[in-house]
Amino acid sequence: MSLFLSLIRDLKLDNVMLDKDGHIKIADFGMCKENMLGENRATTFCGTPDYIAPEILLGQRYSFSVDWWSFGVLLYEMLIGQSPFQGDDEDELFESIRMDVPHYPRWITKEAKDLLEKRDPTRRLGVVGNIRGHAFFKTINWPALEKREVSPPFKPKVV
């Protein structure tokens, strides 16, 4: 299965794992939808509540842009230490996802904010443009990273 032809639909912190060397692996493809080339769209309401894209909540047909939404939520959590959307129950959380603008602390860089604030599914980075060219990732040596030549900052102790 190629992830580039599929919707993951459940990208979240719980499904991002580290291998024994500290390299990231994505796990749990239970909600994955294959053969999502071209104009193919999905309509199933699925995903983990905190990471669901607004177009899913609105019952719209959607593409792989929902995975880029989830990636943005995941990145926000990793950078800021909390979810960008809040609610005491699912209804409030879903309202927050549809309507609220996340809070960006003063210390967040303009590059990080630009990466995170794309609400429109047709304008999300990864849908338009190449994420590798975004200023937030300017220090990444992509060819070396793909060859696993970049040492991860953390190596888990495997027992």
Tokens of 36: 């999502």
Angle at 6 between CA 65 and CA 36, to 5 degrees: 75
Q: Which amino acid is at 37?
A: L
Tokens of 149: 């030549």
**10 in active site:** yes
Q: 3-state class of 122 per DSSP?
A: coil
Quote the CA–CA distance of 19 and 23 in Å, as a whole number.
Answer: 5
Tokens of 86: 């809040």
Quote the CA–CA distance of 42 and 92 in Å, as a whole number.
Answer: 24
Quote the CA–CA distance of 4 and 111 in Å, as a whole number.
Answer: 25
Q: Tell me the catalytic residues.
A: 10
